[in-house]
Chain A
Amino acid sequence: MKQSESFRQAIAAHAILLPIDAEKGEGVALARRYGVYAYPTFVLASAEGEVLDCWLGFGEATPFLETLAEAAAAPVPLSERRRQFRKAPTAAAAAKIAELEQFGGKFGEALAWYRRAEELGSETPLGPAILETIARGQRSGLFDETALFEPAQRVMADPRSDATALSETVRLLDEATRDSAKRGLYLDALKTGAARLTENPRPANEDRRARAALLAEHALLVEGQPAAALEWRRQSLAEGWQEDAAALNELAWWCVERKIALAEAEGYARRGVSLAASDAEKANVLDTLAELRAAQGDATEALDLIREALRLTPDSDYLKQQLARFEGVAAGGSN
């Protein structure tokens, strides 16, 4: 508790904290207003609610506080950033505006600003950010899947692309080409990425987890080696994953999505259930376990597990849908 209190105070030194549940009350409108697409999204806003900065996710306390301190030290609203750019256009300023526009869900504007940053000679490779913008625009219906292909190929061919960029690009291509006639583009990117990531010598500061995530998919889909794929996938997890309910759930979910190592995945999910620190987390892993049991042919246990998850988090619309689905499976319907 002391640690969380000191962390809370460290945040309070820089900003007024407003935790919002995106699925309840005012949170629904705020999530829409700020273009939230993943949890958690952190928005640094002015007193009037105008965006000053934003970023995704929470990993470690120290880098989180550094990001916050940096953003809070120079709180410039987006409108002011645009004014400053007109006076003194720089690639870095254009890229920052693009990033904020992207967060706010203005994907067309964000792309135009990224292009501007490239024209101004950005030293930072912007391919991954452009790709992310297009992927989000695609999910919102602004672009079709083909818009992703050329920028993705640019990132894959760019010698500056590191393991993180290659792995993320391959992941986006995976999402964009599922059930598509263009699936070959994803497999080609997997092969290119795996070739790049197995070159020697390895970069000293390489993101080993990103590398392992890509090589896991390559081992499964290109080499047809599920055991090797699972080993790579384990290596893609953070240290201590065996004691982390969220990581165990992630691994079990990866297996169930790919229909491999189901018995082993069941062990991971059961351990995740036992380690879950809250009802919400336990419900989440129970859902994964239910999927696993259904995939193994035990529709009755799957249904029991979903009922238990729903008992823990009765307001979850997702779990209500899952319950209806598993009731259908248990009654003899299709999965």
Chain B
Amino acid sequence: MRRLHAASLALLLALAAGPALAAAPSTLADAGAQSLADGKPILIEIGAAW
């Protein structure tokens, strides 16, 4: 099957493997709260994990 931008998965996996990711937000609402607290925008990476 053709998958465009196949490198995305590598990014997703590499990031998921980072130990600090456990503390990362998992919903847009959580990310929004953290964004307000830290004064930084949210970077949403939308991919597919299959």
Contact among A11, A23, A49, A72 for B28, CB-based, below 8 A:
A49
Q: Indicate if A20 sits at the interface (CB-CB under 8 A).
A: yes
The docked-state distance in angstroms from the alpha carbon of A128 to that of B3 is 22
B45 neighbours in A (Cβ, 8 Å): 17-20, 40-42
Kindly specify which of A141-149, A153-161, A176-184, A280-288 makes contact with the partner chain.
A280-288
Given contacts A48-B32, A287-B1, contact A19 B9 (CB under 8 A): no
Contact among B3, B21, B27, B34 for A26, CB-based, below 8 A:
B27
Within 8 A of A (CB), among B33-50: 33-36, 38, 40-50
The docked-state distance in angstroms from the alpha carbon of A203 to that of B3 is 30
Q: Indicate if A246 sits at the interface (CB-CB under 8 A).
A: yes
Given contacts A45-B41, A57-B5, A287-B1, contact A8 B46 (CB under 8 A): no
0/1 interface trace, chain B 5-43, chain A, CB 8 Å (1 if under): 111111111111111110011111001111110101111
Closest A-chain residue to B20, C-beta based? A8
The docked-state distance in angstroms from the alpha carbon of A231 to that of B15 is 35
Given contacts A5-B20, A19-B47, A280-B50, contact A39 B1 (CB under 8 A): no
Instruction: Sort A-B residue pairs by CB-CB distance and give the 8 closest, nearest first.
Output: A246-B6, A40-B8, A4-B14, A15-B43, A47-B35, A40-B47, A18-B31, A57-B5
B38 touches A16 (CB 8 A): yes
A residues near B, CB below 8 A?
A: 1, 3-5, 7-9, 11, 14-24, 26-27, 30-31, 34, 36, 38-49, 52, 56-59, 68, 72, 75, 246-247, 249-250, 253, 257, 277-278, 280-281, 283-284, 287-288, 291, 313, 315-316, 318
The docked-state distance in angstroms from the alpha carbon of A257 to that of B1 is 10
B residues near A, CB below 8 A?
A: 1-21, 24-28, 31-36, 38, 40-50
The docked-state distance in angstroms from the alpha carbon of A46 to that of B35 is 8
**With A9-B20, A15-B41, A250-B6 given, can you name 6 additional A-B contacts, CB distance below 8 Å?**
A8-B15, A11-B43, A26-B28, A31-B46, A58-B5, A246-B3
A16 touches B31 (CB 8 A): yes
B5 touches A253 (CB 8 A): no
Q: Main secondary structure on chain A at its contact with chain B? A: mixed
A24 neighbours in B (Cβ, 8 Å): 49
The docked-state distance in angstroms from the alpha carbon of A256 to that of B15 is 33
A30 touches B40 (CB 8 A): no
B44 neighbours in A (Cβ, 8 Å): 18, 20, 30, 34, 42-45
A8 neighbours in B (Cβ, 8 Å): 14-15, 18, 20-21
Contact among A7, A15, A56, A318 for B40, CB-based, below 8 A:
A15
The docked-state distance in angstroms from the alpha carbon of A20 to that of B28 is 9
- Smallest CB–CB gap between A191 and chain B, Å? 25
Given contacts A26-B28, A45-B41, A58-B8, contact A19 B1 (CB under 8 A): no
The docked-state distance in angstroms from the alpha carbon of A34 to that of B9 is 19
